[in-house]
A and B are shown apart, each in its own frame.
Chain A
Amino acid sequence: MALENVCNWQAPEALSPHLPGAGDWTVPRGYDRLGFLQTQGPELAHGTTTLAFRFRHGVIAAADTRSSCGSYVECPASQKVIPVHQHLLGTTSGTSADCATWYRILQRELRLRALREGQLPTVAGAAKLLSTMLYRYRGLGLCVATALCGWDQAGPALFYVYSDGTLLAGDVFSVGSGSPYAYGVLDRGYRYDMSIEEAYTLARQAVAHATRRDAYSGGSVDLYHVKESGWERVSREDACMLYIRLQETGEQEEETTPTSP
Chain B
Amino acid sequence: MAARYDRAITVFSPDGHLFQVEYAQEAVKKGSTAVGIRGTDIVVLGVEKKSVAKLQDERTVKKICALDDHVCMAFAGLTADARIVINRARVECQSHKLTVEDPVTVEYITRFIATLKQRYTQSNGCRPFGISALIVGFDDDGIPRLYQTDPSGTYHAWKANAIGRSAKTVREFLEKNYTEDTIATDSEAIKLAIRALLEVVQSGGKNIELAIIRRNQPLKMFSAKEIESQVVDIEKEKEEAEKKKSKKLI
Q: From residue B205, how far is it (CB to closest CB) to chain A in Å? A: 41
From 89 to 103 in chain A, residues with beta carbon under 8 angstroms from any chain B beta carbon are: none
Q: From residue B95, how far is it (CB to closest CB) to chain A in Å? A: 11
B99 located at the interface, meaning its Cβ lies under 8 Å from any Cβ of chain A in the complex: yes
B188 located at the interface, meaning its Cβ lies under 8 Å from any Cβ of chain A in the complex: no
Chain A residue nearest to B140 (CB atoms) is: A153
Q: Which of A51-59, A65-73, A79-87, A125-133 contacts B (4 or more CB under 8 A)?
A: A125-133
A11 to B98, CA, bound (A): 51
A122 located at the interface, meaning its Cβ lies under 8 Å from any Cβ of chain B in the complex: yes
Across the interface, which residues of A come within 8 angstroms of B1, CB to CB? none
Q: Is the CB of B101 within 8 A of A125?
A: yes
A132 to B95, CA, bound (A): 13
A53 to B239, CA, bound (A): 67
Q: From residue A137, how far is it (CB to closest CB) to chain B in Å? A: 17
Q: From residue B19, how far is it (CB to closest CB) to chain A in Å? A: 31
Q: Is the interface of B mostly helix, strand, loop or mixed?
A: helix
A117 located at the interface, meaning its Cβ lies under 8 Å from any Cβ of chain B in the complex: yes
A124 to B101, CA, bound (A): 6
A215 to B178, CA, bound (A): 73
Q: From residue A77, how far is it (CB to closest CB) to chain B in Å? A: 36
Across the interface, which residues of A come within 8 angstroms of B102, CB to CB? 121-122, 124-125
Q: Is the CB of A128 within 8 A of B108?
A: no
From 101 to 144 in chain A, residues with beta carbon under 8 angstroms from any chain B beta carbon are: 113, 117, 121-122, 124-125, 128-129, 132
Contact indicator per residue, chain B 85-110, by CB within 8 Å of chain A (1) or not (0): 00000000000001111100100100
Q: Is the CB of A122 within 8 A of B108?
A: no
A129 to B108, CA, bound (A): 18
Chain B residue nearest to A153 (CB atoms) is: B140
Chain B residue nearest to A167 (CB atoms) is: B101
Q: Is the CB of A122 within 8 A of B99?
A: no
A6 to B233, CA, bound (A): 90
A129 to B100, CA, bound (A): 7
Across the interface, which residues of A come within 8 angstroms of B100, CB to CB? 113, 121-122, 125, 128-129
Across the interface, which residues of B come within 8 angstroms of A113, CB to CB? 100
Q: Is the CB of B99 within 8 A of A117?
A: no
Across the interface, which residues of B come within 8 angstroms of A121, CB to CB? 100, 102
Q: Which one of B99, B105, B108 lies within 8 Å of A125 (CB-CB)?
A: B99
A125 to B108, CA, bound (A): 15
From 94 to 142 in chain B, residues with beta carbon under 8 angstroms from any chain A beta carbon are: 98-102, 105, 108
A→B interface (CB under 8 Å): 113, 117, 121-122, 124-125, 128-129, 132
Write 16 A-B pairs (CB below 8 A) sorted by A numbering. Answer: A113-B100, A117-B105, A117-B108, A121-B100, A121-B102, A122-B100, A122-B102, A125-B99, A125-B100, A125-B102, A128-B98, A128-B99, A128-B100, A129-B99, A129-B100, A132-B99
Inter-chain pairs besides A122-B100, A124-B101, 15 sampled, C-beta below 8 Å = A113-B100, A117-B105, A117-B108, A121-B102, A122-B101, A122-B102, A124-B102, A125-B100, A125-B101, A125-B102, A128-B98, A128-B99, A128-B100, A129-B100, A132-B99
